[in-house]
Amino acid sequence: MEPPGEKPGEAGRLRITPQLLKSRTGEFALESILLLKLRGLGLADLGCLGECLGLEWLDLSGNELTQLGPLASLRQLAVLNVSNNRLTGLEPLAACENLQSLNAAGNLLATPSQLQCLAGLRCLEHLRLRDPLARLSNPLCTSPSYWAAVRELLPGLKVIDGERVTGRGSELYQLCRDLDSSLHPSSSPGPRATEAKPWVEPGYWESRPTRSSSILEEACRQFQDTLQECWDLDRQASDSLAQAEQALGPVGTTSSFVF
């Protein structure tokens, strides 16, 4: 028999509760929470998170989330990280009118059309769907036209996957992408690229035998002689100091001087 109020299949699913939120933030009223970090807790249900109406910064990465329904009421939310979950859609975020930055890498978004819900977010400037360093991606990122499709669908974006696409510095990222694409062999028919040739003649970088020089040999000999003299003088000075200390201070006695 199932416990009262619990639907089939909900047993064992971790969900957000008022007690969890209050213990994590120290806030008594959920509306007062502005920043919330719930990373890697195994959450599968957002529960009462929609009651945090003042929330501006939210990290839900590394959980087991499959939908974001309660986030539709978070009109003040500006930064959201839902990376490394099991999301197949982002529709509730269409109501987050102040959303500026979204990290959704490492989910199950399969087509660019699933990003259509973000088209009305005028403040959205940063979007991440792929994170090579963390080895997180989405199925839609495997398409060769992925980058162009996202830019066409969301022309207001300034940064995609950590790379600036408009504004200051975007030219450098575009140059890097062009160079990267030029290094990959093309599968389309047409004239083949000219084979790369070395800049210098063969053997240019090979080490050459050193030339003997009587002047260099004489300089090295004189240097060694001077160095030997320095060692001899140092040994003589050490012997003289030891003899002076032995003569001035008998063994077993100590001398003190007051100035």
Residues of the chain with pLDDT > 70: what percent?
73
Task: Choose the most confident range, by mean pLDDT, from 45-49, 206-210, 213-217, 236-240.
Answer: 45-49
- Residue 199, pLDDT > 60, answer yes
Q: How confident is the model at residue 258 (pLDDT cuts 50, 70, 90)?
A: very low
What pLDDT is attached to residue 198?
Answer: 63
Taking the whole predicted model, whether its pTM rises above 0.85 is answered as no
> How far lies 9's CA from each of 6, 43, 44, 85, 239, in Å?
9, 15, 12, 19, 91
What confidence category does residue 174 fall into, taking pLDDT thresholds of 50, 70 and 90? low
pLDDT in tens, 127-152: 999 999 999 999 999 998 898 999 99
Ranking 124-138, 148-162, 238-252 by mean pLDDT, the lowest is 238-252
Euclidean distance between CA atoms 18 and 46, whole angstroms: 11
Residues 6+ apart with CB under 8 A from 82: 60, 61, 65, 68, 102, 103, 104, 107
